[in-house]
Amino acid sequence: MAFVKKTRYLLAPPYCRSAETFISPILSSPSEVLDGLWLAGGWRCFKNLRVLQKKKDHLIEVQMSTQELLKVAKKHSKTSLIEAEFQISNLVNKRPPFAKLDMSKPNIMGVINITPDSFYKNSQIDNLNKLKKYFYEMINNGASIIDIGGESSRPGAEKISSVEEINRVIDPIKYLKNCKVDTFISLDSRNLSTMKTCYKIGVDILNDITAFKERNKIEFIQKTNMPIIIMHMQNEPINMQIDPKYSFAPTDIYNFFSKKISDLIEAGVKKSNIVIDPGIGFGKTLSDNLNIFKYLPLFHCLGVPILIGASRKSLISELTMKDYKFRGKNKKDISPSKRLSGSLAFAIHANMCGVQILRTHDVFETNQAFICQKYLYL
């Protein structure tokens, strides 16, 4: 695994063939960067960049302004300048609406699991009354998307049949669609037959942890023009946490999405219908997850909205126990029910990084954090 060395000099000219170049904007509030560029037409600004260069396992970071990057690229070649300008324009260009949702402001996706084995028991829904309660609480507290899942994707979870998954989600989705409220329903599924069934009853967004890797899925979303969320995952839920390996997780995942987006567009999928999810906790070590968060703004260079879901996940427990151990104290595993504070810390960080969709089990608390944060930067 590569480690980032911070230095004053690049390994090679930007966007040349001998080294990969990535840029991650250093973000601030508009009041802090008066002459900065707006990120994706949203609520964060930037003037300077972290320029990452990777050559085999050698990885360096140089901080420079956007103008410095363009100057160095122009000095090397016209091709380098064109690529640098393209990457900066991807950072700046306003994102079009996704499923009619405004991507120039943060959106909250509430999680409802129609499963008996979700890692967080409080999110499990096993009857219609509980579904109604959670649904109306979430939309009243600020959720613009409700994500419905019928199959657990926690580490070690075994795949269930599409028939069982459909039987779990079809009635809840029918009920939610009949509520006629101003929110969107997302289906969290990796099964094409479930997608087809739920498309017929009006689901608005398809959220696939396997990133629509099968050709027949791509043909379906191209034909139906459905908005989709593509997530990165190494291996499958049943084995994804068994020794996952990356050269450097942020850049490896960036390259995965760059190719995936290109392939989808080539297959006829509209770029405006694509959201990416780096997949926190899906085939990643604690170090991988932290590096993704540290370089989260990097993913804006892909030119599409970003979704982050770290709600109640095990990295919160891992970090807490690591800190206790460092202070010479023993602390057992922190259960999902005690991971709200850590969830909010990651949610606020994602918001500060300009992430357009935040997936959470705790809509009220997340929205409250965003509201308080917003007023601090008015």
CA distance 211 to 229: 7
pLDDT at residue number 112:
92
Please give the C-alpha separations between residue 349 and each of 92, 282, 310, 313, 368, in angstroms, as whole numbers. 20, 19, 11, 15, 14
pLDDT at residue number 318:
93
Residues 341 and 239 both lie in one domain? yes
Residues 70 and 177 both lie in one domain? no
pLDDT at residue number 57:
81
Q: Are 295 and 250 in contact (CB under 8 A)?
A: yes
Judge whether 97 lies within some domain. no
Q: Which of 114, 184, 88 is nearest to 143 (CA)?
A: 184
Residues 120 and 74 both lie in one domain? no
Catalytic pick from 50, 313, 325, 327? 313
pLDDT at residue number 261:
98
Residues 128 and 68 both lie in one domain? no
Task: Return the CATH number at 282.
Answer: 3.20.20.20
Judge whether 98 lies within some domain. no
Residues 126 and 255 both lie in one domain? yes
Residues 217 and 271 both lie in one domain? yes
What are the structure tokens assigned to 157, written together?
Answer: 């979870």
CA distance 68 to 89: 15
Among residues 92, 126, 156, which one ends one of the domains?
92
pLDDT at residue number 241:
87
- Give DSSP secondary structure letters for 62-115: EEEEHHHHHHHHHHH-HHHHHHHHHHHHHHHSPPPPBTTB-TTS-EEEEEEE--
User: Which amino acid would we find at residue 232?
Assistant: H
Residue 294's H or E segment, with its range, is: helix 286-294
Residues 269 and 349 both lie in one domain? yes
Q: Quick check: is 312 catalytic?
A: no
CA distance 260 to 267: 11
Q: Are 184 and 146 in contact (CB under 8 A)?
A: yes
Residues 284 and 331 both lie in one domain? yes
Residues 366 and 262 both lie in one domain? yes
Residue 192 φ/ψ, nearest 5 degrees: -65, -40
Q: Are 300 and 25 in contact (CB under 8 A)?
A: yes
Q: Which of 314, 315, 298 is nearest to 306 (CA)?
A: 298
Catalytic pick from 95, 190, 217, 359? 359
Domain count, the chain: 2
Among residues 92, 120, 137, which one ends one of the domains?
92
What are the structure tokens assigned to 140, written together?
Answer: 């009243």
Question: What stretches in the chain show pLDDT beneath 70?
Answer: 1-2, 117-124, 126, 378
User: Which amino acid would we find at residue 292?
Assistant: I
Report the predicted TM-score, pTM, of the whole model to 2 decimal places: 0.95
Q: Which residues contact 99 (CB under 8 A, 6 or more apart)?
A: 145, 184, 204, 205, 227
Structural domain for 265, as ranges: 107-376
Q: Quick check: is 359 catalytic?
A: yes
Q: Are 86 and 75 in contact (CB under 8 A)?
A: no
Residues 239 and 209 both lie in one domain? yes
